[in-house]
Amino acid sequence: MVESTGNTKIKTAIFISGNGSNMKNLIKYSKLKTSPIYVNLVLSSNKKANGIRYLKKTKIVSKIFNFKNKKDEEKILKILKKRKINLICLAGFMRILSKDFIEKFNGNILNIHPSLLPKYKGLNTHERVIMNNEKFSGCTVHLVNSKLDSGKIILQKKIRINKKDNPRTLSKKILKEEHVLYPKALKKFLSRT
């Protein structure tokens, strides 16, 4: 169980697949004195991820992996161990980690999902929410377990959907909330006693 004592920051890796706005936000947050995390490593499942381009301007080590087989996961676990990573934050990470990987990492893996879980697990969340004429949506930070988007919920933020919203506007609105929610959830998760 990871826990922040206030003196030392938790060595954290971020896993991404795309744009990386949550990653950038977490990196920014990690630099605050009051932040419980220190971002030590970023792994991407996509070599063309925008987030990777951004990292070239920083000193943070980044690596690309397919995340598609056991061999990859074994290599990743080795790197995490070598860099003494205690926590993984999934941020727009679009691969599914194996049960074995999650267990080997003691379950210290968080994810952010753009819906009010347990509703709308999986992909194309905003499209499905709009199609179903939902009045509310939001985002959730949760622990990762072996079932997709089903681990213990740490924090959620609910927002109202306007009649004029479409998947694009909704995604933009929710992303803004994600950037507030993820640091808050980290603080809550890491200060539990």
| Residues belonging to the active site | 113
**Considering beta carbons, is residue 18 or 36 the nearer one to ligand GAR?**
18
Can you tell me the distance from the alpha carbon of 117 to that of 173, in angstroms, rounded to the nearest whole number? 17
Report how many helices (DSSP H) and strands (DSSP E) the chain contains, helices first. Answer: 6, 7
The yes or no reply on residue 138 touching ligand GAR (CB under 6 A) is no
In the complex, residue closest to ligand GAR by CB: 92
- Give yes or no for a contact between 3 and 37, defined as CB atoms under 8 angstroms apart: no
Shortest reach from residue 91's CB to ligand GAR, in Å: 5
Taking the C-alpha atoms of residue 62 and residue 164, their distance in angstroms, rounded to an integer, is 39
Using the rule CB under 6 A, give the single segment among 32-40, 79-87, 109-117, 160-168 that binds ligand GAR: 109-117
Number of residues that bind ligand GAR (CB under 6 A): 12
CA angle at 41 for the pair 35 and 47, rounded to the nearest 5°: 130
Question: Going by C-beta distance under 8 Å and a sequence separation of 6 or more, which residues neighbour residue 30?
Answer: 9, 12, 37, 38, 39
Binds ligand GAR by CB under 6 A, chosen from 114, 138, 151, 183? 114
Distance CA 84, CA 78 (A): 10
Q: Is 186 an interacting residue with respect to ligand GAR (CB under 6 A)?
A: no
Q: Is 111 helix (H, G, I), strand (E, B) or coil?
A: strand
Nearest distance, CB of residue 22 and ligand GAR, angstroms: 3
151 makes contact with ligand GAR (CB under 6 A) = no
Omega before 118 cis (within 30°)? yes
13 vs 91, which CB is nearer to ligand GAR?
91
Give min distance, CB of 187 to ligand GAR, in A.
18
178 binds ligand GAR (CB under 6 A): yes
**Chain residues 115-134 in contact with ligand GAR, contact rule CB under 6 A:** none
Residues lying near ligand GAR in the complex (CB under 6 A) are found at 18-22, 91-92, 112-114, 175, 178
